[in-house]
Amino acid sequence: MPPEKKTALVVAVEILAKRLVSTAELRSKLAAKKLFSPAEIDEAVLTVKRMGALHDDFLAEDIARSYRSRGYGPARIRMALRKRGIPNEIIEQTLNGNEEEDKPVFFHESASEQSADSDNAFAVLHRKAAQFRREPDVRKRKAKAVRCLVGRGFSYEDAIEAADRWMREEGTPEE
């Protein structure tokens, strides 16, 4: 007796049981199996969505929160979300919608007018302070800090603002 052929829905549920994926990733994984027609894939994706097991917005928020907690900026988060196949409108909603709830560890109330991204960048500099203090030249120290932040996905303006603030708090004279 030959084994029963799995339906697209069963395979979709198996995929989601292992790891949360976006709608685009699920479609891609089902299509890669080359066992199902596009109509079967569409039906399986719709059924899984109706069951409440597939939410691109929750996945995007989870990914963004994870990247922010590891010290990455909006550009890097945007890139990670696009790579996972999250739609642009959900990406923008995720990046612009919850700035207030994700306060960084080193948030200072006196600087409340500064952006949340700048505050997150400042927190990254605090964590990496020992690395930058090794550089004796003040200008090179600031340049290294800014390059580090821009490389992590922060805007140049936020990086400069965070580096200036960090250097003031370190007591380093600015040139």
pLDDT tens-digit map of 77-121:
999 999 999 999 999 999 987 544 444 444 443 444 357 888 889
Distance CA 50, CA 12 (A): 13
Distance CA 13, CA 52 (A): 11
1 belongs to a structural domain: no
In this prediction the pTM is 0.76
For residues 60 and 44, state if they share a domain.
no
81 belongs to a structural domain: yes
67 belongs to a structural domain: yes
For residues 89 and 113, state if they share a domain.
no
63 belongs to a structural domain: yes
Judged against a pLDDT cut of 90, whether residue 133 lies above it is answered with no
Judged against a pLDDT cut of 50, whether residue 39 lies above it is answered with yes
Distance CA 46, CA 38 (A): 12
42 belongs to a structural domain: yes
104 belongs to a structural domain: no
Query: Percent of the chain having pLDDT more than 90?
Result: 59
For residues 91 and 121, state if they share a domain.
no
Range of the domain at 119: 109-170
For residues 158 and 135, state if they share a domain.
yes
- Cβ atoms 13, 48 nearer than 8 A: yes
- Cβ atoms 102, 68 nearer than 8 A: yes
Q: Name the domain count of the chain.
A: 3
For residues 126 and 165, state if they share a domain.
yes
70 belongs to a structural domain: yes
The count of residues in the chain is: 175
Mean pLDDT for the stretch of residues 130-143: 89
